[in-house]
């Protein structure tokens, strides 16, 4: 806590204790007691604790790579993430994309749905359940190509080093879920 913050804190403390008079030692004890409580608070915890167990923390988000060989259609993947208080991953930056690719390479063996879709079949790519058009993309060679005319969902393809490809939403891949963390952005 900065000196300014501490001053504000002490001022608010003096408001809290109202008319009761505390000597300096008692006041200090009280401050230490409350600081201890703050440290135990989630917002003051270390980066590893800002996401639930089993989730990875990266720049303000928590990510879940479901265990095992679970694969889903796009809709089922989104539903699975919703059941865990999250949504299919929205990739807003190159650094987030790089982080995800690294995690996928570590796991080696599958492709993954993202939350990117073309909901109105107009080749306008938006993040699912938002009006947000993708500002960053990492299409693989020849993508998006709407092969067979039914490719409205985007996955990160193992065969293309996890670059993005538009694909039929009924295909089954693994999922990556994302939700906000309580940690630093």
* Binding of residue 166 to Ca ion (CB under 5 A): yes
Residue from the set 145, 150, 161, 170 that interacts with Ca ion by CB under 5 A: 145
Contacts of 79 by beta carbon, 8 Å cutoff, 6+ apart: 72
Q: How far is the CB of 44 from Ca ion (least distance, A)?
A: 24
Q: Which is nearer to Ca ion, 87 or 174 (CB)?
A: 87
Nearest C-alpha neighbor of 144 from the set 120, 170, 117: 117
Q: Which is nearer to Ca ion, 31 or 56 (CB)?
A: 56
Choices 21-29, 74-82, 116-124, 151-159; region in contact with Ca ion by CB under 5 A: 151-159
* Binding of residue 157 to Ca ion (CB under 5 A): no
Q: Which is nearer to Ca ion, 45 or 145 (CB)?
A: 145
* Binding of residue 165 to Ca ion (CB under 5 A): yes
What is the end-to-end Cα distance of the chain in Å, rounded? 19
* Binding of residue 90 to Ca ion (CB under 5 A): yes
CA angle 161, 164, 167 (to 5 degrees): 120
The whole-angstrom distance between residue 183's C-alpha and the CA centroid of its chain comes to 11
Choices 32-40, 69-77, 132-140, 149-157; region in contact with Ca ion by CB under 5 A: 149-157
Q: How far is the CB of 114 from Ca ion (least distance, A)?
A: 10
Q: How far is the CB of 29 from Ca ion (least distance, A)?
A: 44
Return the structure tokens found at 59: 């720049």
Q: How far is the CB of 138 from Ca ion (least distance, A)?
A: 13
Binding residues for Ca ion (CB under 5 A): 90, 92, 145, 147, 151, 165-166
């Amino acid at each position: 806590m900065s000196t300014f913050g501490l001053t504000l804190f002490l001022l608010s403390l003096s408001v809290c204790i109202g008319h009761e008079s505390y000597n300096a030692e008692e006041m200090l004890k009280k401050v230490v007691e409350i600081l201890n409580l703050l440290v135990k608070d989630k917002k003051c915890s270390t980066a590893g604790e800002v996401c639930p167990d089993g989730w990875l923390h990266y720049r303000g988000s928590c990510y879940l790579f479901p265990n095992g060989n679970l694969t889903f259609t796009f809709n089922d993947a989104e539903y699975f993430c919703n059941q865990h208080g999250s949504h299919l991953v929205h990739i807003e930056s190159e650094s987030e994309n790089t982080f995800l690719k690294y995690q996928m390479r570590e796991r080696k063996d599958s492709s993954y749905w993202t939350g990117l879709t073309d909901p109105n079949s107009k080749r306008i790519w938006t993040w699912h359940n938002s009006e947000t058009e993708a500002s960053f993309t990492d299409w693989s060679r020849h993508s998006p190509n709407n092969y067979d005319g039914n490719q409205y969902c985007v996955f990160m393809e193992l065969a293309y080093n996890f670059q993005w490809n538009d694909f039929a939403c009924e295909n089954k891949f693994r999922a990556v879920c994302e939700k906000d963390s309580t940690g630093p952005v």
